[in-house]
Chains A and B, each alone.
Chain A
Amino acid sequence: MSVEVLLCCGVGGAGKTTSAAALAVALAASGRQVVVLTIDPARRLADALGIDHLGNEPQALDLPEVTAAGGRLDALMLDRKATWDALVRTHAGDADLAARLLANPYYEALSTRLTGGHEYMATERLHQLAHDGRWDVVVVDTPPSQHAVDFFRAPARIRRILDRNLLGALLTPSQGLLGVATRRAVDVVRRLAGPKVLDDLVHFFELVGSLAGGLRERSAAVQALLQAPTTRVLLVASAVSPREEDLLDFLGVVREDGLQFGGYLLTRAAAPLGLPAEALVAAIPDGARDVPAEAWAAVRAALADAVHRRARDSARHVATAARLAAAGRAPVWTLPEVDGGVADLDGLRALVPHLPPAPPRLPAP
């Protein structure tokens, strides 16, 4: 498969959506045919990317630099529920089974709220985009999470539920086959949850049984795509407060799961000052002609604060980048802080020169 996939992972607030969008702009402006799948971008960024909040379909974005380079850029926002429904319709075989599943109360909860369901649908949508034929690069923003590894762990969780049917013990009518301990556990669950949930669950698993084979095959294909040599994982982290242990743990999980690691993207990095902070602060004049003393004092304070902040933040992320590069044997890209935050196309364009020139190709570790 020649389609390249770039997965932007990281904890909530790291800058995944912005990084994915900037990466997509950079690649398209270098002549690639790019689609970016974003997860719930804030309205202004969505507007900048030409994404209609109501649509689950890619929408073309017309940028002069992309057209000039012969590239293409489409963007879409993941619609978790619509993707689940489409998956069920595809694998149900007949419309009647699909309709009954879609109406099942447990299915409703699973498709809208189950932990891990968002991530599972992101991988599902990725698979569709990669096999569409219109694009040669798919950039994926991942759902917000507490831990960067959640993205890879979540689909397995859903597969466990759909597939191995851990609830089998609850649903087996012939309880004589179960051990005493399990029977007791089943009793407690029945008492806790009440009959309605169990009825909905039993009904759901009866229905899902007939499409389980299709879902299994499908998730094997998605897994293969994630592990393909043309798929790379980028770890996005804030340069202001990166937790290095977490970043290195993530690398371990990525390699354990047989995925290719493409490198780190440190976002919101402060540029180094180039002079010692104290020297700079000392160089701020005590007063300024034509400026009231009080106003100049405020400027002095703001500048001194900015100098110290910049010195501290840049020292921190330079050290972090060096340690990550050494420990992970992986490249580190540093995206500068954009004054006031990235909220539009010009903000994204400001990041482009700092991004990897092409999807990073790394030798296997």
Chain B
Amino acid sequence: MRALRDHELLVVTGKGGVGRTTTTAALGLAAAREGLRTCVVELGGQASLARTLGLPDAAYGPREVAPGLHLMSLSATACLGDFGQRKLHVGALARWFFESRVMAGFVEAVPGLTDVVQLGKVEDMLAAPQRDDPVFDLVVLDAPATGHGLTLLAAARAMAEMTAVGPFHDLAAIIEGLLGDPERTGVVLVTLPEALPVQESVELAHALATDGAPPVLTVVNQRLPPWPDGLDEAAVTAALTAGAGPDEPAPPLLADLARSELRRHRAQVEALAQLARRLPEVVGHPVPLASLARLADPGRLDDLLPPLRAHLGAP
């Protein structure tokens, strides 16, 4: 399998709420630290990634957010205008046209068109950067959750079938050349160490593998700190209560917390075992795994980088 760092595009997906955007930002920072000229990209005019990286709003053009790391917040309208200008040479008319009612109606009615134009922009950044734009070794894409993520990855194929000929058809074929090539594109699957997210991740990995894009990395977010073997509820409760006076409120509270932590820890161990067992089954081979600790402070992305850098640094 190709090394993580040798891909041109990493597509980050997973169940809603598992931390895709945080993972995208951390992966981008880690890649930049490893010396790759990197761009992190979010779609649909969102500003979540921008905010995660400390910027107040979204902007279309690449902005350097850390040494070696750029950010782009794409929107379908901006990408369409861009596409029209460069591929159709409609020139100054482009903006007027792409904001017209006819075009708005068309974009609204054709499934996947917004996905395709935005992916087209990503492909263009990699394959044919504009004269004034930075050159990137790696783009990390903050893709939508599960179902929408799959739709995004399949959008170009569907568009190619729907159109048969024409510029959109050609664009779809170019995108498929990027997304459909495991040497160029890798999917990063984000999950939590809990039963349902793990189960959904296994189902998603199965769907991805069926579509010919098995995940190249699994990221487990919000790992709890380790709990020593052999210390069960009774042992911990006894230790917490030993020596404390009968009316002290802290020991029972701490015992409750310990019980709850122990339960979560067991659930985590079980979920991770499930992931380790099922993922290779549905994908057909082992998938590398990076574990990220639960952040005490959401702003401290640096704490997440070491495990990601280890994977990106590997040849």
A residues lining the B interface (CB < 8 Å):
11-15, 40, 42-45, 105-106, 109-110, 112-115, 117, 144, 146, 157, 160-161, 166-167, 169-170, 181-182, 184-186, 188-189, 191-197, 200-201, 238, 241, 273-275, 279-280, 283-285, 288-291, 294-296, 298-299, 301-303, 305-310, 312, 339-343
Contacts and interface: CB of A to CB of B under 8 A. Distances in A.
Interface string B144-155: 111110010000
B224 A302 contact: yes
A166 B107 CA distance: 11
Contacts of B101: 166, 169, 182
**Residue among B102, B104, B164, B165 with the most chain A CB within 10 A?**
B102
A309 B199 contact: no
B210 interface: no
A298 B264 contact: no
Contacts of B112: 109, 113
A302 B261 CA distance: 8
Interface string B219-253: 00000111111110001101110111000111101
Nearest to B269: A340
Contacts of B294: 309
B239 to A, nearest CB: 3
Interface residues of B, number: 85
**Residue among A40, A42, A196, A200 with the most chain B CB within 10 A?**
A42
Given A113-B151, A283-B251, A341 B197 contact: yes
B166 A110 contact: no
Contacts of A310: 257
A339 B260 contact: yes
A312 B240 CA distance: 23
B206 to A, nearest CB: 11
A291 B237 CA distance: 12
Determine the main DSSP class of B at the interface with A: helix
Contacts of B147: 40, 144
Given A182-B102, A298-B227, A279 B108 contact: no
Given A299-B228, A299-B231, A343 B111 contact: no
Nearest to A268: B17
Nearest to B297: A312
Contacts of A12: 15-17, 145-146
Contacts of B148: 144
A225 B194 CA distance: 37
B263 interface: yes
A146 B100 contact: no
15 contacts: A13-B16, A44-B195, A105-B161, A117-B111, A144-B145, A188-B84, A192-B166, A201-B109, A274-B253, A275-B249, A285-B243, A291-B231, A295-B231, A302-B226, A306-B258
Given A13-B16, A44-B199, 8 more contacts: A11-B16, A114-B109, A161-B109, A166-B105, A291-B239, A296-B239, A299-B258, A303-B254
Contacts of B314: none
Contacts of A294: 228
A290 B249 CA distance: 24
A47 to B, nearest CB: 10
Interface in B113-132: 114
Contact of B163 (A15, A44, A194, A340): A194
Contacts of A284: 240, 254
Nearest to B201: A42
B253 A280 contact: yes
B225 A197 contact: no
A339 B267 contact: yes
Nearest first, the 7 closest Cβ-Cβ pairs linking A and B are A13-B17, A340-B267, A12-B16, A194-B166, A13-B16, A166-B105, A288-B239
Interface in B137-176: 144-148, 151, 158, 161-169
